[in-house]
Amino acid sequence: MSFLPRAQTTGIAHNNDEDIFVRNKSLCKDLIGKLSFTQMIYFQILGRIPTDSQSNVLDACLVTLMEHGLTPSTLTSRLVYSSAPEAMQSAVGAGLACVGSVFVGTMDSAAVLIKRLLQSKIGVREEAYIIAKEYNNAVKRIPGFGHHIHKPDDPRTMCLFKVAERENISGDYIKAIKVLSKEIDQVFGKHITINATGAVAAVLGDCGVPAEIMRGFALISRAAGLVGHIHEEQTKPAMRVIWEAAESSIPYHNPKT
């Protein structure tokens, strides 16, 4: 008995002696020099060329997520590069491994919450109240909300919502997260900002990006940011300072004393 999987197909790319075809379009005739990198990202992942407005909003999201200082992902990339400078890809890969539920990667979970609001049979506001109560009772952080630096509001969120409004993209996802924000403030008894990943979840949702692939866009953006940090490490090495700072800040403790 054979347990080999059934033959599958791909609809992304194929090639011949004369050209490469991506999503059934000629790379050389239809795409190179015709689509921007942002447009190509959307097209390759979702299989359709974005409108100019969708492309502009996605571009704003990619710019937003590219850089945020010496966070775990950038520190990791710098340290790995310093250890293995012959393998830049290893440093970038290590940094991307840090994109998760605490830093950068919460937009997919936030998008799931927004989708839950939009699909609720009891109404968006009522469902938003239930979500806020669930997280408050569980004493859990809400994906897409809160920031330890940007208070009372995340300035990136305001920028993204303005871009979406300018491009006539602002729709049900953005409306829903704003309703959720009001209910969260009421239930928690204080204002908790919609952070950048929450805003990205909302605007990408209104651009037609499914929740399950949203973190991929963060990875694409952050990869470029990590390359920037690696280049700075090449020209102005910081690894030794970071290493020494860690050693001085975390003294050795003899467990026998």
Write down the domain spans for the chain. 11-46, 50-257
**What span, in angstroms and rounded, lies between the C-alpha atoms of 213 and 186?**
31
Helix %, strand %, coil % of the chain (to 5): 60, 5, 35
| DSSP state for residue 70 in the 8-state scheme | S
Among 38, 108, 30, CA closest to 66 = 38
CATH of 50-257, one of 1.10.230.10, 1.10.10.10, 1.10.3470.10, 3.30.930.10: 1.10.230.10
Q: Note down pLDDT in tens along the chain; length 257 residues.
A: 556 666 688 889 999 999 999 999 999 999 999 999 999 999 999 999 999 999 999 999 999 999 988 889 999 999 999 999 999 999 999 999 998 877 776 889 999 999 999 999 999 999 999 999 999 999 999 999 998 888 899 999 999 999 999 999 999 999 999 999 999 999 999 999 999 999 999 999 999 999 999 999 999 999 999 999 999 999 999 888 888 888 889 888 888 76
Residue labelled with tokens 């920028």: 159
Omega of the bond prior to 152 within 30 degrees of 0, cis?
A: yes
Q: How far apart (Å, rounded) are the C-alpha atoms in residues 122 and 249?
A: 52
Structure tokens at 162: 């303005």
CB distance 95 to 105 below 8 Å: no
- pTM of the full structure: 0.89
Question: Is 26 strand, coil or helix?
Answer: strand
Q: Which residue has the tokens 């997919």?
A: 108
What CA dihedral angle connects 123, 125, 129 and 132, to 10 degrees?
110
